[in-house]
A and B are shown apart, each in its own frame.
Chain A
Amino acid sequence: MPQSAEHVLDHAPLFREPEYQEMFARKREQFECPASSEAVDAQREYAKSWDYREKNLAREALVVNPAKACQPLGAVFASAGFEKTMSFVHGSQGCVAYYRSHLSRHFKEPSSAVSSSMTEDAAVFGGLNNMIDGLANTYSLYEPKMIAVSTTCMAEVIGDDLHAFIQTAKAKGSVPQDYDVPFAHTPAFVGSHVDGYDSMIKGILEHFWKDKERVAGEGITLIPGFDGFCVGNNRELKRLLDLMGVQYTLLQDASDTYDTPSDGEFRMYSGGTTLEQTADALNAKATVSLQKYCTRKTMDYIAGHGQETVNLHYPLGVRATDELLFKISELTGKEIPEAITMERGRLIDAMADSQSWLHGKKYAIFGDPDVVYGVTRFILETGGEPIHCLATNGNKQWEEDMKALLASSPFGRAGQVWAGKDLWHLRSLLFTEPVDFILGNSYAKYLERDTGTPLIRTAFPIFDRHHHHRFPLMGYQGGLRFLTTLLDKIFDKLDQDTNIPSKTDYSFDLTR
């Protein structure tokens, strides 16, 4: 009997004990009717081949292990970045349970959102009553300052009209007439969570900017985009902008929402862009999107109001941060202070110190389109070689952007861009054209296991490591953090490969 009170064994060691191992063998032999070991071995080897890769890449309908989620997740995340705002997702209720769980598992934080809980009768008659009752309940129970409405695919398929429903609900007294209920249609069968983010931000701006005349001011607006690292990144951005003395609004800031303290109080709402700032953003001199593919419709809408717009791709690393700061300086006339120049120099110093370990390392990089772009750009700066750049939710335009980026550096020559592909495709790519490291999210731990390629977690969602999102990736400080994470993995791998006593340990150097 392996279990004891002194040394309690949980699942990880317990099931390796002989009692359990023998039981597994018995179960397999007597009851499971499994495929033969030979067949399994043969298929496992075949799945590593070029032949399998061709078949795999030729898939037209099946998607396996995609690296994207659906629109309403992006809308819920977007809404979480506004002051005292409750996300209200109109449609089936299970979806909302999923978004909340997904966000909580990544941030290790509460994630609040409500559903209009539509069921079969609403599928037949429409969800108007659900909207009327739902808004009234949310308003009384959770006392939000704003309710941001998005949709699940159920409401989209039956064609519920949010604008009309919200007007009717207001007329019936669910919430006061002048209460803020912005909305966005976010069909799950179009685009991905980055588009849901886009639609929700645009919906919020439309709500606050409608019929308003713009009076151009001096301030600028930054829109961060869907960012699993928003806690660290947004705070770093604000620090940089404050150092520069810029007048700015971070439009959609979930950094406090997803990072509340433990002090005995549960804060359903914390921080976020104020509704006043959101309305005032109309008068900004210019708006900078930090993630172009998260804000395409929004930026068009903003440009339509006469603002200058700038689209970036997740400013990570040296040149991307330079570009961000330079652009902000240009827009605001504020100089980049010496303190920031020193920070830049320190990042360059760190990269120079470590360059020999980074040079020529090969990477597979996946995630959301702008994140992949930003990470790839920084990898090129370290002398690394991006081999596979993949975004399941990347489109043709992204593919072109990526190709141009790779072409801009000799280290990008071997790089291939995989728009619309999934992680089962990536598995084939890793077997046939291997790399040294994967840069992606937690889902790639299966790729790490199957292909033996170490995974560095740099993209949303990260479920199986804690607190990374609390540190920035953007800016020079973020670059330093990113660099350290990269190097830790590189050195850990090298140590693991050189630690067998009397076999490989001659390379187990104390100083590297």
Chain B
Amino acid sequence: MSLDYENDGALHEKIIEDVLSAYPDKFAKRRRKHLSVAKGVDDADAPAEGEEKLLTECDVKSNIKSIPGVMTIRGCAYAGSKGVVWGPVKDMVHISHGPVGCGQYSWSQRRNYYIGTTGIDTFVTMQFTSDFQEKDIVFGGDKKLEKVITEIDALFPLNHGVSIQSECPIGLIGDDIEAVARKKKKEIGKTIVPVRCEGFRGVSQSLGHHIANDAIRDWVFAAQEGEIEFETTPYDVNVIGDYNIGGDAWASRILLEEMGLRIVGNWSGDATLAEIERAPKAKLNLIHCYRSMNYICRYMEEKYSIQWMEYNFFGPSQIAASLRSIAKFFGPEIEEKAEAVIAKYQPLVDAVVAKYRPRLEGKSVMLYVGGLRPRHVITAYEDLGMQIAGTGYEFAHNDDYQRTGHYVKDGTLIYDDVTGYELEKFIEKIRPDLVGSGIKEKYPVQKMGIPFRQMHSWDYSGPYHGYDGFAIFARDMDLAINNPVWGLFDPPWKKKPQSEGFLEAAE
């Protein structure tokens, strides 16, 4: 479904100028490059056959260092590796190697759902740490790490492997975690993966994803001895970059299975090590979160000749388009089944849209998230008649902003690595009907009287992927926007004329 609207680009340009005026000159110059307004492209530049149509150009600088002292929302490489890529692998123990904090703050916060007996054969919602003390910094932590791995194997013998997620000090004190990994692998005979994801590396979570991908290549694929026995079929695929937040990967898998495909590996939500090891046996890599896992897909293409394809399972328009393009890869039989799946869910889609669109029609949304979501969820909102006024990424690269041009309309405000200050001002001036961002942004925005949904964790709801997820997504956006609390902000004895506009939303 393509919703036809434009944003007020001139207004957005002015808002950018206003916001930049608060910075010291040197930093206003630097931040300016991260802020822009999407510009419509001429119809004359029609896409070549088979290419997606570009709606706009989102020209901003990205993937460079955050400015000190501005309240960036970004995380670190450790968050990208332990928090995103490795953490969800359920039958391995992931050691937060270093001081206690990193593992503590990230413990159980990403809602990577899984099936398993926690603490016995599954370890996702646990916090394993080497809890560095001063002596470990002074004398090095390798001996301690060895002992940690020995103790893990004694107390959690059903683990299928261990990953070592480096925190900042590891790289600074010159520990040799690779040597420890090799030694312990020999001793206990299990996969041990050292990951150099110290938080100071790179400029955001993003380098952590890349390092984590490389660790799969170097310490899982390259370390495999002998051929893995596994009976393949022509319909084997991997789902890459679905972390099963609130069960997303399950709501996706059910559709792919229904159209006749087999998912050999789901990376990495609800995954086991075996699902990673056998992935090179599949015929196609389906990649959802391009940002965090494109690296290993490119490697598998080169090494195992597995093609990869991006898809989008947010909202019925994108789901149908994705199911069709995935099916096309496998030929008429699967295409027919894909059509049957689309047809089967159409009544659900119609009913969801009939129920929620009238309640959400015309409402404006601002997004600020990570990974794929600042673009991928846009059409799901539009399927409900909602409009995107602004969007931005915590840790995107240039190729993400290029892809964003396929989604956003002319005049949309684009912000890269937005600062707390900028985001607050943008929201204050645009006053959207809904903001989708993270926990750090949630409460400031709500206090401004603007409905909010956390779009990292699905605000403890979900799944949002697939048709089952779309119904939940629609319900959640409705309950956020149309809750009566937004109409209670002003005491009757205080008149606040400028706030009337947004309080009407909650009738």
Contact = CB atoms under 8 A, between A and B. Distances in A.
Interface stretch (A28-36, A208-216, A231-239): A28-36
Contacts of B253: 23, 27
- Chain A: number of interface residues, binned into ranges: 35 or more
Given A31-B278, A63-B129, A101-B105, A135 B200 contact: no
A114 interface: yes
A83 to B, nearest CB: 19
Contact of A32 (B72, B250, B272): B272
Interface in B449-501: 449, 461-463, 467-468, 471-472, 474-475, 485, 489-490, 496, 499
A62 B105 contact: no
A465 interface: no
A99 B105 CA distance: 7
Contacts of B134: 187, 189-190
A154 B136 contact: no
B76 A101 contact: no
Interface string A139-160: 0111000000000111001100
B398 interface: no
Interface string A159-172: 00000000000000
Contacts of B22: 140-141
Contact of B274 (A15, A31, A88, A109): A31
A252 interface: no
A434 interface: no
Contacts of A92: 76, 168, 199-200
B101 A35 contact: no
B78 interface: yes
Contacts of A94: 74-79, 102, 199, 205
A100 B73 CA distance: 10
A271 to B, nearest CB: 15
B105 A102 contact: yes
Given A10-B472, A94-B78, A112 B136 contact: no
Contacts of A388: none
Contacts of A267: 447
Contacts, number: 355
Contacts of B496: 264
B121 A101 contact: no
- Chain B: number of interface residues, binned into ranges: 35 or more
A189 B109 CA distance: 23
Contact of A65 (B127, B265, B272): B127
Contacts of A5: 348, 351-352, 354-356, 471
A496 to B, nearest CB: 23
Given A5-B354, A73-B101, A189-B169, A260 B447 contact: yes
B446 A262 contact: yes
A262 B444 CA distance: 9
Given A95-B199, A104-B439, A117 B65 contact: yes
Contact of A100 (B117, B356, B440): B440
B346 to A, nearest CB: 11
B91 interface: yes
Contact of A115 (B68, B106, B107, B345): B68
Contacts of B246: 10-11
Interface in A86-128: 88, 91-95, 97-102, 104-105, 108-120, 122-123
B438 to A, nearest CB: 8
Nearest to B133: A189
A2 B113 CA distance: 19
Given A92-B199, A97-B73, A64 B127 contact: yes
A490 interface: no
Interface of B: 22-24, 27, 65-79, 91, 98-102, 104-109, 113, 115-121, 125-134, 136-137, 144-145, 147-148, 151-152, 154-155, 157-158, 160, 167-169, 171-173, 199-203, 205, 246-247, 250-251, 253-254, 257, 262-265, 270, 272-275, 278, 344-345, 348, 351-352, 354-356, 419-421, 424, 438-440, 442-449, 461-463, 467-468, 471-472, 474-475, 485, 489-490, 496, 499
Report the 6 A-B pairs with minimum CB-CB distance, sorted nearest first.
A94-B76, A70-B101, A134-B69, A134-B68, A98-B105, A33-B274
Given A62-B147, A66-B104, 7 more contacts: A11-B472, A33-B272, A52-B155, A62-B130, A66-B100, A70-B101, A105-B439
5 contacts: A24-B115, A28-B115, A142-B421, A190-B134, A262-B449
